[in-house]
Chain A
Amino acid sequence: MSRVHKIFRKFYKIGLVLFLAIFLLFIFDEIQNLDIKRYLSEHYISEGVQETGAINLVTSVLYDYRGFDTLGEATVILTAAATLSFMTPIKKVKMLGTEFTIIIYQTIIIIIPFLVVLGMNLIFFGHISPGGGFVGGVILAMIPILVTINYGITFSENKLKPNHKSLLEGIGAIGFILLGLLGIFAGSNFLASGQANFGLGNPGELISAGLIPYLNLMIGIKVGAGLAAIFNSLIKEG
């Protein structure tokens, strides 16, 4: 009886998934055939460079047209770090001790400067080439993560203390909001850059696009510090 029951449950799950999949297939198929207006994305593509000064369209949407969403997303990362640090139980499990060869230890030291350069490049050139604060922050967060994996959590936390990470995270977030407030002080609305007559410069130059490069920097700091904190709080208890 229990075997029949088991088989039934398995087929029931598969059937449910299949049913939903076929249903969605029909819906998407119907959507494909509709005639859809795209005036918003067309406006971003055709006017984005003039209006925001950023050549990278993703950046112009992320940090100018919809900068407020970015602030919310950055806050989600901060709260996710807090959630993780609470949800990892206090019980200590012995971590798998991995000993690497000397080659790896030495290579890490060589790699780290390159990672710094790459991350910084992605952040600072976020508005004129592919990249941006989120990506750059992830690359920068890889440095403490690599150090943690190779030299252990104690060494890594000694080099970059958890307090400093949360300080950096706070500075990034506060900086983002303060930069946004500049728009209000300039007589326009929150997070206005081109609209508040901050010089957009010549699109393509490093100092251009109004507030976008600075917002990029703040998000980079915040994401980098946040991800490093998340990784450490996961591995500490693991």
Chain B
Amino acid sequence: MESAVWIILLPLLTAFFLGIFKLYSDKLFYSLVIVSMVIYLYLLILVINDSYPPKVYSIGNWGLLGINLMVDSFSAMFLLIIAILFITVIIFSLNYIKVNKHKFIILTYVMIAGIAGMVLTADLFNLYVFLEVSSMSSYALTAIKKTDKSIESSFKYLIMSTFGSFFILLATILTYYLTGTLNMAEISLEFKSVPFMIKSTIMFFFIFGYGIKIGLVPLHAWMPDSYEASPIPYNVLSSGLVMKSAIYALIRLLYVIFGVEFLTESGILNIGVFWGVLTFIIAHTLAYQQSNLNRLLGYSSIAQIGYITIGLFLGNEKGLIGGSFHILNHGIMKGTLFLVLGIFYYSLKADEIEDIQGLGYKFPVLSFTFVVAALAIVGLPPFNGFISKWLIIEAAIEAGFFYAAFFILVGTFLSLTYYLKVIIKLYTKTEKKTLIEKPDLSLKLPTFFLGSLCILFGIVPSLPLSLINNIPKFLLNNSEYIRILLGG
């Protein structure tokens, strides 16, 4: 399982080498970006293929004394999202980014290393360190345009997110103090003898801290602002990976460390489902009022996170499958929407709903891609969003949360209203003559790739589901996960 550690090391190493190369030669810089991307894709496929049954890699060969990495199906699905989004975003931004291009690429590599570390690690403090790596680079990427607005939003993001990190660190420290170990499997075993009250407090700290990073209402305030001010390729990664890696970490901690029995007993599953419903209802209504497309998509991301939260907090097998599948689907759909918006912005600086009027006739294929992704995110068949949403609704009914299932349908109609508003605007004829910079193929190709995945995963959902179906085995029944992690 040597390749697991390379998943973290390769982007880090690349980022540091790029930092040196940018001082001397542009040619070397870009060839390294391409070469390392291709190798990384190969490594990711290798690790994803080898993810079942789970593998453990011990850093420094210390076994339980040191840090362990573990690849199971849940982390493999995240590696799949990294593989899809990272490649497209890097190709897209090679042409798109004009300001601070070198630093954008370097920081993106660092961020990917952080997210890969969060996804792979089986150690509580290591998780915190990589969480900091990924959020630190997110702050920098939000502020990368250096306009007043981007600095303000990045500062807001930094303050709120650091507040969340503080709670996560506090909970980590308390956990270490209580159990004397940082290995997730051992913590889980030791936690059985910790009093209920203390365990609940630690869980509350974790949920509050990660809630800010995930962007659950009312802890979401930083997100739309940061979307409006940051470069659009970063938004793809932010909504597809940064938020998602936080919810990954939270779910991993809750299900592995606390165990599903404690979650049911403490009632947090009910709270989580209710919180998810609250989040998407509020986010949908807020999204309806936006005039800026970046903010609209940002609120839509928060709403989708609400669906994912419901799915993952249902505590049954179907819910975990549906929630995880929606994580993957939302990354792809939102990525498509943002990339199309990016091309509009690149060509004619359009990111308000008013500005995109009539673009459906100027960019027929791109607009069609936008419509496909918008309908997919609303949840209409035959696109991928429909299937994962359907799974979540089914799981909610199975678990007895009828109100959640009902409100998901309501939310679907709410999201249909504002996405229809955008689509109608897109196909409204206008007399306005605008100067258009032609986007070239390197911008269009990644967009079409993501858009075609929306249709592909909708028609053949068994492709990703064959990977995702294994996820509940190691989350619902944490003793399996613990056995593999302890057994080495």
Contacts and interface: CB of A to CB of B under 8 A. Distances in A.
A75 interface: yes
A76 B195 contact: no
A30 interface: yes
A65 B103 CA distance: 32
A30 B195 CA distance: 9
A117 B359 CA distance: 66
A87 B58 CA distance: 38
Interface string A185-206: 0001111110110000000000
A76 B132 CA distance: 7
Contacts of A34: 178, 194-195, 198
Given A75-B133, A80-B136, A170-B16, A68 B60 contact: yes
A72 interface: yes
A68 B126 contact: yes
B129 A169 contact: no
A27 interface: yes
Contacts of A41: 180
B151 interface: yes
A27 B197 contact: yes
Interface string B129-142: 11011001101100
Contacts of B67: 66, 68-69
Contact of B107 (A72, A79, A87): A79
A36 B201 CA distance: 18
Contacts of B126: 66, 68-69, 72
Interface residues of B, number: 58
Contact of A76 (B61, B133, B177, B198): B133
Contact of A170 (B9, B19, B66, B146): B19
A67 B59 contact: yes
Q: Name which of B57, B65, B148 has the most chain A CB atoms within 10 A of its CB.
A: B65
B190 A43 contact: no
B191 interface: no
Contacts of B83: none
Contacts of B194: 34
A39 interface: yes
B60 A75 contact: no
A31 B178 contact: yes
A190 B9 contact: yes
A55 interface: no
A72 B65 contact: no
A10 interface: no
Contacts of B129: 69, 72-73, 76
A40 B16 contact: no
Nearest to A34: B178
Nearest to A67: B60
B16 A173 contact: yes
Interface string A86-115: 110110000000000000000000000000
Interface residues on A, range: 35 or more
Nearest to A84: B140
A66 B183 CA distance: 12
Contacts of A184: 2
A13 interface: no
B486 to A, nearest CB: 14
A191 B137 CA distance: 24
Contacts of B132: 72, 76
A164 B147 CA distance: 27
B137 A79 contact: yes
A83 interface: yes
B184 interface: no
Q: Name which of B59, B136, B140, B178 has the most chain A CB atoms within 10 A of its CB.
A: B59
Contacts of B23: 163, 166-167
B232 interface: no
A167 B20 contact: yes
Interface string B11-43: 011001101100100000000000000000000
Q: Name which of A65, A72, A180 has the most chain B CB atoms within 10 A of its CB.
A: A72
A177 B61 CA distance: 16
B16 A30 contact: no
B277 interface: no
Contacts of A171: 20
A30 B155 CA distance: 37
Nearest to B58: A189
Contact of A36 (B17, B20, B180): B180
A83 B139 contact: yes
A86 B146 contact: yes
Contact of A72 (B58, B106, B133, B143): B133
Given A31-B174, A183-B60, A189-B58, A65 B65 contact: yes
A191 B66 CA distance: 11
Given A171-B20, A174-B16, A65 B62 contact: yes
B20 A30 contact: no
A136 to B, nearest CB: 20
A75 B125 CA distance: 15
Contacts of A6: none
B124 to A, nearest CB: 11
B16 A177 contact: yes
Contact of B158 (A71, A83, A90, A196): A83
A71 B107 CA distance: 16
Nearest to A86: B143
Interface string B81-107: 000000000000000000010010011
B60 A36 contact: no
10 contacts: A27-B197, A31-B178, A36-B178, A72-B117, A76-B136, A79-B110, A83-B143, A90-B146, A183-B60, A190-B9
Given A41-B180, A69-B125, A195-B62, 17 more contacts: A27-B201, A31-B198, A38-B180, A39-B181, A40-B180, A69-B67, A72-B133, A76-B129, A76-B133, A78-B19, A83-B137, A177-B12, A177-B16, A189-B5, A189-B60, A191-B59, A193-B60
